[in-house]
């Protein structure tokens, strides 16, 4: 790509990112009644998608420190969205799982996130949306096969 193309693409992506993230933050507030931010939903996403794990495994998966994960888990438990249990057969080890309430909150967040994307893309003509879809699919395919750093 030429430098001027990269500069234009960077600007458009940054504008999209700002609008996307503002919408995602609002979706998190809406899904949680104003209690939770994106971080809480990243933890729920890891639990819903990957099942029960230890707090340290979750911290690694989400990309936060163990102390930050502890804070997230304290809040998620307080809200009834996650539960910590002793790991059978491993003494003091703890496992974390999403509760039904947590799964429901996560599904509300995902529905809100989808609505944000729909609102951002619906004003585009159908061929523009298709081009966007095709470009992202091509990027994802390349990323998956070539292990391009994100």
**pLDDT tens digit sequence for 68-77:** 999 999 999 9
Residue numbers of the domain that contains 47: 3-146
Task: Please name every residue paired with 83 in a beta bridge, in sequence order, or none if there are none.
Answer: 97
pLDDT in tens, the chain (150 residues): 899 999 999 999 999 999 999 999 999 999 999 999 999 999 999 999 988 999 999 999 999 999 999 999 999 999 999 999 988 777 778 999 999 999 999 999 999 999 999 999 999 999 999 999 999 999 999 887 655 454
Task: Report the domain count for the chain.
Answer: 1
The reported pTM is: 0.84
Closest alpha carbon to 43 in 33, 34, 92, 32: 32
Which domain CATH number covers 77?
A: 1.10.10.10
């Amino acid at each position: 790509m030429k430098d001027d193309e990269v500069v234009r693409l960077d600007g458009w992506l940054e504008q999209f990112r700002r609008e996307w993230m503002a919408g995602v933050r609002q979706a998190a507030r809406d899904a949680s009644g104003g209690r939770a931010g994106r971080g809480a939903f990243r933890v729920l996403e890891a639990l819903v998608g990957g099942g029960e794990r230890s707090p340290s495994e979750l911290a690694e998966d989400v990309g936060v420190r163990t102390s930050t994960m502890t804070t997230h888990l304290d809040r998620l438990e307080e809200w009834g969205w996650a539960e910590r249990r002793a790991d059978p057969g491993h003494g003091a080890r703890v496992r974390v799982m999403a509760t039904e309430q947590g799964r429901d909150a996560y599904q509300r967040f995902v529905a809100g996130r989808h609505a944000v994307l729909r609102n951002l893309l619906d004003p585009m003509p159908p061929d523009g949306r298709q081009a966007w879809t095709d470009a992202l699919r091509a990027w994802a395919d390349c990323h998956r096969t070539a292990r391009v750093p994100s």
